Chain A
Amino acid sequence: MIDISESVMQILLAFIVVVPLIGALAALLPAPPGLKGKSPEQAVLRHGVTVTGVVLIAAIVLALGFDHDHPSKMQATTDISWIPALDVRIHLGIDGISLPLLVLTALLTFLCALYSYFKMPAGPSPKAFVALVLVLESGTLATFAVLDLLLFFLAFEMVLIPMYFLIARWGGEGRTQAAWRFILFTLLGSVVMLLGLLLIGLKAGTFDMVALATDNGRSLTASVQVIAVLAIGIGLAVKTPMWPLHSWLPDAHTSAPTVGSVLLAGVLLKMGTYGFVRIILPIAPDGFHTFAPYLAAFAVVGIVYGSLACLALAKRGARGDLKRLIAYSSVGHMGFVLLGIASTTPTGVNGALFANIAHGLITGLLFFLVGALKDRTGTTDLDTLAEKSGAALYGKAPRLGGLLAFGAVASLGLPGLAGFWGEMLAMFGAFKPAADLSRPAFLTFMSIAAFGTLLTAAYMLIVVRRVCMGAGPQDAPQLADVHTYELAAWTPLVALTVVAGLWPRALLGLTDPAVQQLLAGGTR
């Protein structure tokens, strides 16, 4: 949209990845004179907002400078040799697939930093908190920006330690267990993934994603592709998470602090699905076609399973936890993303990428809202909240209730909001999968997924009824309604949900050419 020279774009992209790391180091040092603020705590939290803000601005400038007429072309590329012994190159670049995720990450991290500036989660010093959030941001941004398999692995691993500490230190009940589960599951997955990446790199003779995508699996034999896809797929499926490898997710979400949940759902899960699209689809197409029906089957089981789990949690007397419920709904939503990818058609993959972004916005918002609800009422337990008749949030805190209802209907995929397009396109993709995939099987998967949307609608509406509605006693204490800082943190998410719902072309126009090219075999 605006013309920025390529070298500036290069610097911008490198800047976005590196600055959070430098910021993390700076956060550990004492504040320089002049920036001490009211207290060391306040100073370091402000530092977090500043750094993430700068990164967000850089990301927006990058998005504006991005050549929207050629989104399938890698832009702002840097390619420097780093470790010749392993053939690792610092190869950065963005195209229409990674750009939206990059901006989403920068946005969500900034909102989280802003939110914690006013509402620091209970736990040890904010110094470490800010440093960890910044390292997490750098790792996620790097995952979406790198174009080298081993560098991708490095970035993928980089988020583990910060997230572990965020959950284990600033989390709620059962945090130690949940944090261990999170890190052991993901590490086991990612080490297996490393084996697959090495196999591809050693057999094809390069770790460069662009070169491998251009090659489109021609230099890999079918058996190598099958083994590699299995290994890499397991690693990515744990992260996504795909049923039945999801069991770390509900615990991690339930125990994580609000900010941790938002980042986990909004950004970290996307690293898994992004890997499917960026690595597996173009680099080992034959291997992927072998597994696509199974992936689709697991995906739809995940959709139904997630929804049924949510229904069970939403039931009266089940003592269901709202955070846990949203976590399970994530399993369902990510099921749609995987179904779209498994269809191996441009429609399905575009839908998957759209659903990715939509899930990040909507679930991020929902976790923020539930966190705010917990701050006010002290619980996220549905039964305690709703008591007999319902929590009557509309009466006690009308704006908060309204936002929660908005998040819920967006999540169930109301047309006109962001949640709708992704899931619909994913099902379209499954309706007419790639030529060599069994159509009857995918039709079955599609109908099961469609049934899943009904279930999703059911539990989301139950949640709205039990939390927002109800005839609370007249003398019930009012809850504080939405604070200004909360409004500031949430408005961008709400606005983008509406924009993406009403103007899907903005996003699809970016992803579609890039997806077409990936599926057609690398660079056209």
Chain B
Amino acid sequence: MSTLVQSVDWLAIAPPTIAAVVGLVVLVADLFLDERRKALLGWVSVAGLAVAALMLLPLLDGDRATFCLAGDPHLCSYTADRFTLVIQFLVLGGALLAALLSVTVLEDAKRRIPEGEFWFLLLSSAAGAALLPASRDLATLVVALEVASLPAFALVGMRYGDKRSSEAALKFFLSSVTATAVSLMGISFVYASTGSLYLTQIADRIQHVDGQLHVLAQTGVVLTLVGFAFKTAAVPFHFWVPDTYVGAPLPVAAYLSVVGKAVGFSGLILVTVVALPSYSDVWGPALAALACLTMTVGNVGALRQQATRAYSAVRLLAWSSVGQAGYLLVPIAAAGYSKDAQKAIGSTVAYALMYAAINLGAFAVAALVGRTRTLNRITDYRGLYASNPLAALFLAFFLLCLAGLPPGIIGLFAKVTVFSAAVDAGLGWLAVVMAVNVVIALFYYLQWTTVLFRAPEGEPEKQRVPAPLTAAIALSGVLGVALSGAPQLVLRFSETGLF
């Protein structure tokens, strides 16, 4: 029976495992800690995420694979290649920044949010999200997707006694479960027509599918994409985003906007480029249409936000994250048309890294402003420069990065790589649609930026910025500035193969 026992490379699976174990530790520790010491849990979680991210370092030396079939060592469920490491870094780093935001928000919430549960859920979700890019078979992929999503539903509904929060959670839960169910059905179709769950084996076998099963396989491909498109918040699976972001605690919204998206698009990449490259004529156009719709609807939605409405800042970030998801999809769609799919995928990864650092920074400043102005309207940002110049300058920088205009050089060049992936693949029309969208997006980002520098109404109120928030803003700010000076740090992924 020894042939059935798979060997496990513990170092390779360390990053998601550490996140999960620390989550359990925090949950248990919560029972034994008295009220005054609860803040400790937050710091333990932050440290756990940092250690998990550091555990990526020893894996840099080469590709590793584990959980391989004993009979066929080339078929593995878990692979730590460059793609995996980059996405795991993005996920764990994003979770770390979101955790830093949470420390302050939980402290301000004065025990209305149960701390032990919060940290446990956040870490479990992060563990699932870190597992996802490494999974190389459809079953692991779906398990990872669910591990990443299920805690997120609970996180969204965390605000006790807040009707909006529970409504958001329910909306999120129902739509997400539906999408997953559709996805599962697609996977079963693919399994039925190929007889395998391993991505590389599917890629092989699906080319020789029996003619009668051809339609089944095609339907399976499209349905499988639905679940991941949902996570990426692609239109028409985006309607949950604004309400969920507004209803959720702000750090959770930040987490979803970055890590949730990473889960979605890395799953999409695995399914399309690794498992179904021969079906690129099906998913290529589908993703191109999806990208086009997503960015247009997202940006127009953001454009229509009224600055005076309650929570308009968070709403705007929510809609703009939908628009940004559209840009992320462009290179994946281009991968379906181009001869060098790896290069196109690299553009998505590079863009996602930029977006993660910058968007979390913007959310961090929003969390800062939200401490005193609980309604978090865009008009509440008026005169931020007078009361807190550094935060205002950083937010302006983040917004211009998202818009892709200097001084946000990294935002500009990340967009350039996406454009070049589209132009290279011959998707000129998509590039033109994206160009128009960039202009629409500039309008609302710049409008917000100008508000920051207007003269404040009344005396500017100085407030002390809590250390975790300072750390989060500074971390993303420094990252953004450093990347603007040396864009090659992230853009190199768009040049070389990741798998």
Binding site for B on A (CB under 8 A): 82-86, 88, 124, 128, 135, 139, 150, 153-154, 157-158, 160-161, 164-165, 168-169, 180, 183-184, 187-188, 191-192, 194-195, 198-199, 201-202, 227
Contact = CB atoms under 8 A, between A and B. Distances in A.
Given A85-B495, A86-B417, A202-B423, A195 B428 contact: yes
Contact of B405 (A88, A161, A192): A161
Interface centre among B412, B432, B435, B493 (most CB of A within 10 A): B435
A183 B435 contact: no
8 closest pairs, A vs B, by CB?
A85-B491, A191-B435, A85-B495, A158-B406, A198-B423, A188-B439, A83-B488, A85-B492
5 contacts: A85-B417, A86-B416, A160-B406, A188-B436, A192-B432
B487 A160 contact: no
B411 to A, nearest CB: 11
B379 interface: no
A194 B413 contact: no
Given A187-B438, A194-B435, 14 more contacts: A83-B487, A83-B491, A84-B492, A85-B491, A85-B492, A85-B494, A150-B413, A150-B416, A154-B412, A184-B442, A188-B435, A191-B435, A195-B435, A199-B423
Contacts of B423: 195, 198-199, 202
B419 interface: yes
Given A83-B413, A85-B495, A154-B412, A195 B431 contact: yes
A191 B428 CA distance: 13
Contacts of B409: 154
Given A154-B412, A187-B439, A202-B420, A160 B405 contact: yes
B446 interface: yes
Interface in B413-444: 413, 416-417, 419-420, 423-424, 428, 431-432, 435-436, 438-439, 442-443
Contact of B419 (A124, A187, A195): A195
Nearest to B406: A158
A158 B494 CA distance: 24
Contacts of A195: 419, 423, 428, 431-432, 435
A198 B426 CA distance: 12
A184 B439 contact: yes
Interface in B132-148: none
Contact of B438 (A124, A135, A168, A191): A191
Given A84-B492, A184-B443, A202-B420, A157 B406 contact: yes
Contacts of A169: 453
A165 B446 CA distance: 10
Contacts of B436: 188, 191
Nearest to B389: A28
A391 to B, nearest CB: 36
Contact of B446 (A158, A183, A192, A199): A183
Contacts of B416: 86, 150, 153, 194, 198
B7 interface: no
A318 B432 CA distance: 41
B450 interface: yes
Interface in B192-224: none
Nearest to B393: A28
A502 B493 CA distance: 57
Contacts of A157: 405-406, 412
B301 to A, nearest CB: 19
B491 A183 contact: no
A420 B235 CA distance: 58
A84 B487 CA distance: 9
A239 to B, nearest CB: 15
Contacts of A227: 428
B407 interface: yes
B11 interface: no
Nearest to B495: A85
Contacts of B487: 82-83, 85-86
A164 B435 contact: no
A164 B446 contact: yes
B455 interface: yes
Contacts of A139: 406
A198 B446 CA distance: 25
Chain B contact patch, size range = 20 to 34
Contacts of A84: 488, 492, 495
A343 B416 CA distance: 33
A195 B443 CA distance: 20
B292 to A, nearest CB: 15
Nearest to B346: A85
A211 to B, nearest CB: 18
B46 interface: no
A270 B437 CA distance: 27
A154 B450 CA distance: 22
Given A154-B412, A188-B436, A86 B420 contact: yes
B491 A86 contact: yes
Contacts of A192: 432, 435
A198 B406 CA distance: 18
Contacts of B424: 202
Contacts of A188: 435-436, 439
A416 B419 CA distance: 49
Contact of B413 (A86, A201, A202): A86
A153 B406 CA distance: 10
A248 to B, nearest CB: 13
Contacts of A201: 420
Interface string B318-350: 000000000000000000000000000000001
Interface centre among A83, A124, A135, A199 (most CB of B within 10 A): A83
Contact of B420 (A135, A160, A198): A198
B418 to A, nearest CB: 11
A388 B455 CA distance: 42
Contact of A183 (B406, B419, B442): B442
Contacts of A160: 405-406
B92 interface: no
Contacts of B26: none
Contacts of B432: 192, 195
A518 B298 CA distance: 45
Contacts of B253: none
Contacts of A83: 413, 487-488, 491
Interface in B463-493: 487-488, 491-493
A341 to B, nearest CB: 25
A150 B443 CA distance: 23
Given A83-B491, A160-B405, A161-B400, A198 B419 contact: yes
Contacts of A85: 350, 417, 487-488, 491-495
Contacts of B406: 139, 154, 157-158, 160-161
Nearest to A124: B455
Given A202-B420, A202-B423, A191 B488 contact: no
B409 to A, nearest CB: 7
A126 B492 CA distance: 40
A101 to B, nearest CB: 20
A467 B491 CA distance: 58
Contacts of A198: 416, 419-420, 423
A128 B385 CA distance: 12
B456 to A, nearest CB: 12
Contacts of B494: 85-86
Contacts of A86: 413, 416-417, 420, 487, 491, 494
A199 B436 CA distance: 17
Nearest to B385: A128
A30 to B, nearest CB: 11
Nearest to B490: A85
Contacts of B413: 83, 86, 88, 150
A180 B405 CA distance: 15
Contacts of A88: 413
A194 B438 CA distance: 12
B490 to A, nearest CB: 9
A131 B459 CA distance: 25
Contacts of A184: 439, 442-443
